[in-house]
Amino acid sequence: MEPLLKVSRLRVEFKSDFGKRTVTDDTAFYVNEGETLGLVGESGCGKSVTVHSILGLLPSNGRIVEGEALFDGKDLCKLSEKELDKVRGKDIGMVFQDALTALDPVFTVESQIAEQLRVHLGLGRAGARERTLKLLEEVGIPDPLSAMKKYPHELSGGQRQRVMIAMALSCGPRLLIADEPTTALDVTIQAQIMELIGEIMKKSRMSMILITHDIGLIAQMADRVAVMYAGQIIEEAGVHELFKNPLHPYTRALLQSAPSIEDGDDRVLKAIRGAVPEDYTDITGCRFAERCECAGSGCELRQEFKQREEGHFVRCHLA
């Protein structure tokens, strides 16, 4: 079966006053129908840039230099703005981290959701209204009738996130991109939102790309996981395989550096020395090498993304 979304050889460049800078390169991943792909990595590693680029949402100084992103047979990187508009919000829904900035402050909840329904699905005023009400009910907003008339600032953080999910789901997307959907929320609210997303996934056979830096969330939600470091995907595997048998030294270190509530008193966290390189454009070899415990000869060479075991890819010659 063809995957729903297949990204290959994707490279994104940003122009600045100091010249060009490659932000992500050699990015390749796929998402099957009904599957959740977890994209995990630290801030600035290129997680968001990757999904923004395939949706044509890069800022004006960024562009895709090479690569393709096949969604349902169409290359998203080659579509015009107009053609992209037909896909964004309809076949691909997005949920962003900060609902307060993602929602328009001067329009009511109803008009923001109804706009999509009228544009993408051609619904009339009354039809859109009815559908909006149903969507808000579905995402568990108490008293949806009065919530519809409210502006984003009148809602709590959790409610705003629910509104964004309702918006993303409004046109029955086949792929949901959730970019840190719960990072700004408290844990009890996060549990509610993730529960909601999980329920919807089960019902609708929708696919999801879940971007997060929370290892726990990945463990609970994802089917497959891609780990990013400094602009590259460095490991990809099924979620059980990745947690049981991480091959890349960075993935291993990452899993060991997260404190867990299930730890005993005697656990010692394994810290990763140093910090993420700020500019990794000129590093030709492994970008993790300077922080890696296993680094040795061969790490200065370009690292290929290779399959080591069935469905388990890694970018490290030592793995």
Partner 1 sequence: MSDREPLLSVRNLKKYYPVKNSAFLAANRKLVHAVDGVSFDIYEGETLGLVGESGCGKSTVGRQLVGMEQSDGGELFFCGKMLDKAEFKRQRAQLQMIFQDPTASLNPRRRIYDILSDIMVGNGVCTRAEAKERVNGLLKEVGLPENSAERYPHEFSGGQRQRIAIARALSLSPKLIICDEPVSALDMSIQAQILNLLKELQSRLGVSYLFIAHGLGSVRYISHRIAVMYLGKIVELASSAELFKNPRHPYSQALISAVPVADPEKRGVKRMITVGEVPSSIDLPEGCAYAARCPYATERCRRERPELVDINGGEGSRNKHLCACFNMEVAREGVATHEGVIVHEGASAREGAAEEPAVKEGA
Q: Which positions touch partner 1 (CB under 8 A)?
A: 42-43, 137, 140-143, 156, 158-159, 186-192, 194-195, 198, 202, 213-221, 239-240, 243, 253-255, 257-265, 267-273, 275-276, 278, 291
Quick one: tokens of 250?
A: 């960075």
Q: Which is nearer to partner 1, 120 or 131 (CB)?
A: 131
Q: Is the CB of 28 or the CB of 200 nearer to partner 1?
A: 200
Closer of 293 and 304 to partner 1 (Cβ): 293
Structure tokens at 191: 């549990």
- Cα–Cα distances in angstroms (integers) from residue 263 to residues 174, 213, 246, 247, 260, in the given order: 38, 20, 20, 23, 6
Rounded CA separation 138/157 (Å): 18
Hey, what amino acid is at 41? G
What tokens were used for 51?
């999904």
Say which amino acid occupies 299.
C
Whether 33 and 80 have beta carbons less than 8 Å apart is answered as no
Single out the residue of 292, 304, 313 nearest to residue 241, CA to CA: 313
Q: Minimal distance in Å, beta carbon 246 to partner 1?
A: 12
Of 195 and 300, nearer to partner 1 (C-beta) is 195
Q: How far is the CB of 110 from partner 1 (least distance, A)?
A: 17
Cα–Cα distance, 131 to 178 (Å, whole number): 22
Minimum distance from CB of 68 to partner 1 (Å)? Answer: 31
CB nearer to partner 1: pick between 64 and 230:
230
If the CB atoms of residues 220 and 307 are measured against partner 1, the closer one turns out to be 220
CB of residue 179 to partner 1, shortest distance in Å: 17
Closest approach, Cβ 271 to partner 1, in A, equals 4
Q: Name the burial class of residue 1, with classes exposed (0-12), middle (13-18) and buried (19+) by CB atoms within 10 angstroms of its CB.
A: exposed
311 contacts 237 by C-beta, under 8 angstroms: yes
What is the closest distance, in whole angstroms, from the C-beta atom of residue 275 to partner 1 in the complex?
4
Closest to 168 (Cα-Cα) out of 146, 138, 212: 138
